[in-house]
């Protein structure tokens, strides 16, 4: 292909504030593929040719191509060039019912209908190698205190919308646009107290008691607990199935599940990314069958390289609800998270919020909004990402130099932990029980693997501790592992 159709680049002159040029080019090409304007097997122009056509640098084109290749839209063949990936035609054009924009879907639960009919109302400690815990000695306390002081002066102290403080919702919308490719208005964002509240609200609002819900395994145990508390019947999908297009199709075909809860960008705790065809397939399933997908974008801020696009950004059928939290990037006691809702769901969820608690702390929300608006949040994330990469390298070297060096390490793609696989003969829960008694906060992989008894391993955090502390922890892990394996072999 000598030149790409000029219609592909209608938006190229409409660069959004804060949007990097290569991201805009990536978005134009991605949409061309998803809309069928670029067909599977077609060869893309070389970076030099496209750069000349668009009058941009070759580096801009290369970075856009690299992102398309990383996400599976384009395949690169040595010496032959870059080609559009061939995907099933029906996945490229998912059916969209435009009437869903006009009224709430009838699939809302009985509890949600009661919310809609109601009148408005107005209210562990840290251990060595523990995963998902931040080192607070690296937190910008002075900057945060200034934001708290500024928050005490805002009008929000005297009331706020049930969706949450507008300042914070606008900042979240901007953050998602820049870092996750999600284009939404502040009106679609609902502030929560974290992932637990979001999961409970979603299970209660989208499902009736007894309805089947699909949940990936391994995964965060708190989500399953919340779904069960809401009365959902949980069916697990093994992560190997999610990686296999045929197995996933067999699982979804004929499924009566009302919703799928998933971490598509980075599975917790293994860090796997859902392949492009699998992402398109579950979007197709949801659009075809009037189902919901709840996307937990866990830990994406600390992913290595450029994180893949959020599922919400690919959704044309308005069936994805996106959830996020500040617990990992800031600190858990902040108790702030958020949901991004399809517009049709917003009225029902606002009614629910008024009945449940009327909203969260306006001061905490205002402080977080100021922290983001002044650039402190993005600077903090960059700083911590670099620190975590350094600490991960330290932990990997400590493991390589220990008696545990023969055990495989699962690449979690960055984040705040890694996974050390254990032989089937080793009881990971028993090992972790002994370690916790000595102040080692490692978690058993099987703890996260409901319905999947074959997964054995250790989830080891590296974010919290320095090199000396990690050495102490690994020494204890090594000693207990050797003791346990000596018993089993004897």
Domain locations along the chain: 6-92, 139-378, 381-488
The mean per-residue pLDDT over the stretch 20-37 comes to 90
Q: 6-92 — its CATH code?
A: 1.10.10.10
The arithmetic mean of pLDDT across residues 358-366, rounded, is: 87
CA–CA separation, 359 and 288 (whole Å): 35
At 221-266, the pLDDT tens digits run 889 888 888 888 999 999 999 999 889 999 999 899 999 999 999 9
Is the pLDDT score of 337 beyond 60? yes
Bridge partner residues of 417 (DSSP): 461
Which residue, among 460, 447, 371, has the nearest Cα to 410 in the 3D structure?
460
CA dist 477 and 208 (Å) reads 45
Beta partners for residue 337, in sequence order: 192, 325
Per the listing, tokens 């189902």 go with 291
Q: What angle do CA 346, 378, 359 make, to 5 degrees?
A: 30
Q: Pick 381-488's CATH classification: 3.90.1150.10, 3.90.580.10, 3.40.50.450, 3.30.420.40.
A: 3.90.1150.10
Through-space distance between the first and last CA atoms of the chain, rounded to whole angstroms: 66
CA-to-CA distance for 428 and 97, rounded, in angstroms? 48
Beta bridge partners of 236: 215
- With b meaning 16 or more CB within 10 Å and e meaning fewer, what string describes 428-464? beebbebbeeeebbbbbbbebbeebeebbbbbbbbbb
Top pLDDT among 19 and 269 is at: 269
Between the alpha carbon of residue 230 and those of residues 109, 199, 225, the distances in Å are 11, 9, 9
Per-residue pLDDT of 167-221, as tens digits, reads: 999 999 999 999 999 999 999 999 999 988 999 899 999 999 899 999 999 999 8
**73-87, 120-134, 234-248 — which is least confidently predicted?**
120-134
Helix, strand or coil for residue 317? coil
Query: Is pLDDT above 50 for 120?
Result: no
Q: What residues are paired with 74 via a beta bridge?
A: 84
Residue 290 structure tokens: 């009037």
Burial 295-304 (b: 16+ CB within 10 A, else e): bbbbbbbbbb
Q: Which residue has the higher pLDDT, 332 or 391?
A: 391
Q: Alpha carbon 234 to chain centroid distance?
A: 20
Residue that is written with structure tokens 């992102």 in the block = 67
Helices 166-180 and 362-373: crossing angle, nearest 10°? Answer: 40
Q: Is a pLDDT exceeding 70 seen at residue 124?
A: no
Q: Decide if pLDDT at 146 tops 60.
A: yes
Least confident of 63-72, 91-100, 246-255: 91-100
Q: How far is CA 440 from CA 198, 307, 437, 484, in A?
A: 30, 31, 7, 16
Q: Which of 233-237, 355-359, 407-411 has the lowest mean pLDDT?
A: 355-359
301 pLDDT more than 80: yes
Report pLDDT for 123: 31
- Give residues with Cβ within 8 angstroms of 262, minimum separation 6: 214, 215, 216, 242, 274, 282, 293, 294, 295, 296, 311
Average pLDDT over residues 130-139: 93
pLDDT at res. 219: 93
Strands 417-421 and 457-461: antiparallel
Q: What percent of the chain has pLDDT over 90?
A: 65
Contact yes or no for 231/209 (Cβ under 8 A): yes
Tens-digit pLDDT profile for residues 436-462: 999 999 999 999 998 666 799 999 999
- For the whole prediction, is pTM greater than 0.95? no
Q: Which CATH code fits 139-378?
A: 3.40.640.10
Higher pLDDT, residue 178 or 108? 178
196-200, 239-243, 404-408, 484-488: least confident range: 484-488
Which DSSP state fits 137?
A: G
Look at residue 403 in the predicted model and tell me its pLDDT. Answer: 97
Torsion of CA 339, 292, 93, 250, to 10 degrees: 130
- Region 19-23 average pLDDT: 86
């Amino acid at each position: 292909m000598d030149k790409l159709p000029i219609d592909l680049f209608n938006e190229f002159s409409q660069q959004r504030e804060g949007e990097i040029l290569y991201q805009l080019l990536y978005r134009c090409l991605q949409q061309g593929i998803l809309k069928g304007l670029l067909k599977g097997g077609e060869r893309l122009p070389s970076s030099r040719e496209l750069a000349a056509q668009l009058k941009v640098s070759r580096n801009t084109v290369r970075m856009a191509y690299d992102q398309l290749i990383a996400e599976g839209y384009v395949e690169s063949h040595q010496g032959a060039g870059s080609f559009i990936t061939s995907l099933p035609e029906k996945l490229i054009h998912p059916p969209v019912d435009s009437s869903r924009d006009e009224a709430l879907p009838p699939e809302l639960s009985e509890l949600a209908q009661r919310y809609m009919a109601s009148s408005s109302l107005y209210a562990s400690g840290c251990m060595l190698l523990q995963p998902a815990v931040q080192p607070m000695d690296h937190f910008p306390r002075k900057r945060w205190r200034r934001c708290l002081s500024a928050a005490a002066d805002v009008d929000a102290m005297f009331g706020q919308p049930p969706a949450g403080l507008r300042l914070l919702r606008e900042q979240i919308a901007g953050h998602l646009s820049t870092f996750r490719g999600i284009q939404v208005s502040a009106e679609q964002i609902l502030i929560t107290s974290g992932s637990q509240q979001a999961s409970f609200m979603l299970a209660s609002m989208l499902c009736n008691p007894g309805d089947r819900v699909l949940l990936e395994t391994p995964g965060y145990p708190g989500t399953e607990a919340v779904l069960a508390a809401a009365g959902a019947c949980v069916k697990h999908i093994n992560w190997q199935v999610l990686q296999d297009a045929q197995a996933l199709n067999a699982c979804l075909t004929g499924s009566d599940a009302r919703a799928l809860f998933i971490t598509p960008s980075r599975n917790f705790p293994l860090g796997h990314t859902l392949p492009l065809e699998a992402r398109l397939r579950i979007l197709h399933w949801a659009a075809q069958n009037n189902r919901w997908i709840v996307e937990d974008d866990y830990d994406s801020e600390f992913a290595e390289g450029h994180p893949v696009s959020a599922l919400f950004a690919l959704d044309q059928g308005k069936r994805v609800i996106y959830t996020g939290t500040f617990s990992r990037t800031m600190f858990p006691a902040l108790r702030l998270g958020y949901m991004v809702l399809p517009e049709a769901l917003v009225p029902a969820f606002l009614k629910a919020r008024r009945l449940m608690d009327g909203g969260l702390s306006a001061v905490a929300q205002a402080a977080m909004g100021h922290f983001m608006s002044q650039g402190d949040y993005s600077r903090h994330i960059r700083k911590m990402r670099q620190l975590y990469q350094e600490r991960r390298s330290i932990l990997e070297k400590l493991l390589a130099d220990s008696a545990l060096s023969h055990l495989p390490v699962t690449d979690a793609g960055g984040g705040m932990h890694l996974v050390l696989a254990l032989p089937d003969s080793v009881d990971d829960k028993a090992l972790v029980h002994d370690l916790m008694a000595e102040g080692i906060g490692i978690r058993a992989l099987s703890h996260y693997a409901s319905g999947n008894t074959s997964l054995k391993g250790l989830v080891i955090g590296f974010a919290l501790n320095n090199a000396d502390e990690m050495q102490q922890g690994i020494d204890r892990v090594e000693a207990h592992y050797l003791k346990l394996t000596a018993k089993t072999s004897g």
